[in-house]
Chain A
């Protein structure tokens, strides 16, 4: 430790260095408690099991996403109708008109 007489002979910078050295000696490293390492391993285990569950959950999500992609791919790969939209609408319209005509005929006959 720095003695007062020694300290007086030094410049402030050197005195500050001496003070830091004294401080280091005055603050010894604390002894870890008996529970330090077991407590640490408990935390590690808890984190590990959480990570494991998270990993399982992520895998399930990835599998579900892959299946969904596959199904969507299959549905998109089905052959499209060859007729154009206009043709389909026209056919539907004509079919609808024919049905109406049949209905009118039946009603006419009843009356």
Chain B
């Protein structure tokens, strides 16, 4: 955990200063997860504020500080789902948005990195986004949380509220679907590693 459980307890009891410390400690991490889940930099902060807003008004319901992180990830995933659902309702396309995001993210780190390295990273991002967009939204979010955000099965169990074995099955199937698309792309020599030395 990024903060100690005593701080979480104080925040649960309505201590605004403690809650502010929790926000400061977690905001970057949460914004990172949201950015990778929704793929639209201009909306990341708004969705992130929504997560912390929900967190603030439901802190009193948290009984054990140990489950705080998993609980916050759950709020984050729910907020991302809500956002994606809203966007889907408005008929917006994700793929084009994501490629726009790649450019903006690449711009953000451009000053510090070599151009070829930057290009390679950009290609990796585009490839993984394409792979993850080839599966369902549920699979994509589950794989992102496990493979990219590095959440443990125990944490995912709390986030999704399902048993570990069921999660393993879902993860395995989701990964197999992505792997299939990846292999097809490799065969067509669309993988960055296959085209450069």
Write the residues of chain A forming the contact surface with B, with a CB cutoff of 8 angstroms: 1-4, 7, 12-13, 15-17, 19-20, 22-33, 35-37, 39-41, 43-44, 47
| A37→B196 contact, CB < 8 A | no
- Across-interface contacts of A23 in B (CB, < 8 A): 124-125, 128, 148
CA distance A35 to B20 in the complex (A): 14
Question: Chain B contacts of A47 at CB under 8 A?
Answer: 53, 57
A40-B49 in contact (CB<8A): yes
A4-B194, A47-B53 known; A28 and B32 CB under 8 Å?
A: yes
Tell me whether B74 is interfacial, beta carbon within 8 Å: no
Interface centre among A4, A31, A32, by most chain B C-beta atoms within 10 angstroms, is A32
Are B193 and A36 in touch, CB under 8 angstroms?
Answer: no
Q: What is the CB-to-nearest-CB distance from B194 to chain A, in angstroms, rounded to a whole number?
A: 7
Of all A-B residue pairs in the complex, the 9 with the closest CB atoms, nearest first, are A29-B32, A26-B121, A23-B128, A20-B147, A4-B193, A40-B49, A29-B28, A22-B124, A7-B193
| A contact face: mostly helix, strand, loop, or mixed | helix
Q: Is the CB of B196 within 8 A of A30?
A: no
1/0 contact trace for B20-47 toward A, CB 8 Å? 1001100111011001100001001100
Chain B interface bracket (under 10, 10 to 19, 20 to 34, 35 or more): 35 or more
Instruction: Tell me, rounded to whole Å, the shortest Cβ–Cβ distance linking A3 to chain B.
Output: 8
Q: Are A40 and B23 in contact (CB under 8 A)?
A: yes
Determine whether B56 belongs to the interface, using a CB cutoff of 8 Å to chain A.
yes
A20 to B131, CA, bound (A): 10
For A7, the chain B residues whose CB sits under 8 A away are 193
B77-85, B88-96, B179-187: which lies at the interface: B179-187
Q: Which residues of B contact A44 (CB under 8 A)?
A: 53, 56
Nearest-CB residue, chain A, relative to B176: A13
> Are B124 and A37 in contact, with the CB atoms below 8 A?
no
